[in-house]
Amino acid sequence: MTAQPFREPGHSAGLLEIPKWRFLLRLLVRKELRVRYRGSALGLLWSYVKPAVQIVVFYLALGKFLRLEESIPNYVIYMFGGIVMINFFNEVFGNTTKSIVWNADLVKKIYLPRELFPVASVWVAFVHFVPQLLVLLVGALIAGWRPGPLNLLAGLGCVTIVGVLALGMGLLFGSMNVLFRDAENFVDLIVMVATWLSPVLYTWQKVHDEVPGWAWTIYQANPLTAAVELAHYAFWIPTSGVVPAGQDAAVLMPPHWVWWSALGLAVSSLVLLLGQLVFRRLEGRFAQEL
């Protein structure tokens, strides 16, 4: 029998060790879903109700009252595609930040990879994301959505960017939240403005025409901007009905959007790496601080 090397107590191999604990991960996901909907009459139906109300409010306020639907064809699909991605980011980021504190009793009593808690929160958020995505798909199909391979690839890309970015930020802020509860307030601020820092309710042209070049570069380097634009390419552009004859749908996208999307994925991956490094650095103090 091969001897296993010694390892410092309270530390794991990080996210790489999660597959070995997948059974416990499933239990944590089920537990979190049960706790969230305990005593709720609607249960998982809230995953439909909340975004539906949000979309109606935004559509009436911006689409009708401010008449954005006159300048953005099929504004509902345009807006809904971005909101679904931002809601996914907000839930993953918010829940992963609080996941260690929420599971303080388990952290203090037994050893298991601490990354299990943030990853479980990602899966719970994904459970809530799927119903919203299904509603978006049905709405897009009704509006004439006939996707090609590039549209489907863009849809997969936007979900990947959002998931990787939100998990990385959740690991970073979640580890700091154990030491300083102020981290939750910073997360609330980021979540509050996330919708407005990406082209969810407006078009990228409005930003491009109003800000200086350096500000446009920063805006495009935001991974959420890339993810939302990919969502538009996946769901809205095939239904927009404004693509000039004989031209590619990409004419509606920002300049160099493919490179910005690749940069968004790269930045999200770096954030995930940074979050994992900080998390592993601080996880040895979790039980003591909690």
pLDDT, one tens digit per residue, over 181-221 is 778 888 888 888 888 888 888 888 888 888 888 899 999 99
Domain assignment present for residue 30? The answer is: no
Domain assignment present for residue 48? The answer is: no
Domain assignment present for residue 18? The answer is: no
Q: How far is 204 from 209, CA to CA, in rounded Å?
A: 9
Q: How far is 123 from 269, CA to CA, in rounded Å?
A: 18
Q: How far is 171 from 97, CA to CA, in rounded Å?
A: 7
Report the pLDDT value the prediction gives residue 132, as an integer from 0 to 100. 87
Domain, as residue range, for 217: 67-289
For the chain, the C-alpha Rg in angstroms (whole number) is: 21
Contact (Cβ atoms closer than 8 angstroms) between residue 173 and residue 186: yes
Whole-prediction pTM: 0.87
For the four alpha carbons of 281, 284, 288 and 290, in that order, the dihedral sign comes to positive
Residue with tokens 């943030």: 118
Give the amino acid at 114: R
Phi, psi for residue 225 in degrees, rounded to 5: -60, -45
Domain assignment present for residue 16? The answer is: no
Question: In angstroms, what CA-CA distances link 106 with 115, 162, 173?
Answer: 13, 28, 19
Domain assignment present for residue 235? The answer is: yes
pLDDT for 245-259, tens place per residue? 444 556 678 888 899
Report the pLDDT value the prediction gives residue 243, as an integer from 0 to 100. 54
- Kindly tell me if the per-residue pLDDT of 230 is higher than 90: yes
Q: Apex CA 258: angle with CA 222 and CA 160, to 5°? A: 60
Domain assignment present for residue 52? The answer is: no
Report the pLDDT value the prediction gives residue 178, as an integer from 0 to 100. 84
Question: In angstroms, what CA-CA distances link 260 with 216, 217, 267?
Answer: 12, 10, 10
Domain assignment present for residue 107? The answer is: yes
The residues, ordered by sequence, that sit 6+ positions from 119 with a Cβ below 8 Å of its Cβ are 15, 18, 25, 167
Domain assignment present for residue 47? The answer is: no
Report the pLDDT value the prediction gives residue 244, as an integer from 0 to 100. 44
Q: How far is 230 from 261, CA to CA, in rounded Å?
A: 8
Split into its structural domains, the chain has a count of 1
Nearest to 203 by CA among 87, 84, 91, 81: 81
